[in-house]
Amino acid sequence: MADAFKSTWAGGEVLIPKAQVEAEAREAFHAGRDANEACPYPFHTDAGLQWLATFNLCIPLPVDR
């Protein structure tokens, strides 16, 4: 997996660090935000897919008792 994701921002190409994408996703989850509203990246991009995967990994698994 890449350490950074390429994206277009304000007409130019930028690199977004993977750690930043993942931190933003964890922060959004813990703040109780909805993934569709909180993700700052289009879901069809590598950054968007990584953000969503990280967000989903924060969701606790159900416990059978």
Q: What is the pTM of this model?
A: 0.86
Where would I find the beta strands (DSSP E) of the chain? 4-9, 12-17
Give pLDDT, residue 1.
60
CA distance 7 to 17: 11
pLDDT at position 7 is 79
> Which residues of the chain are modeled with pLDDT < 50?
none
pLDDT of res. 50: 95
Q: Is 49 exposed, middle or buried (0-12, 13-18, 19+ CB in 10 A)?
A: middle
Q: pLDDT value at position 20?
A: 96
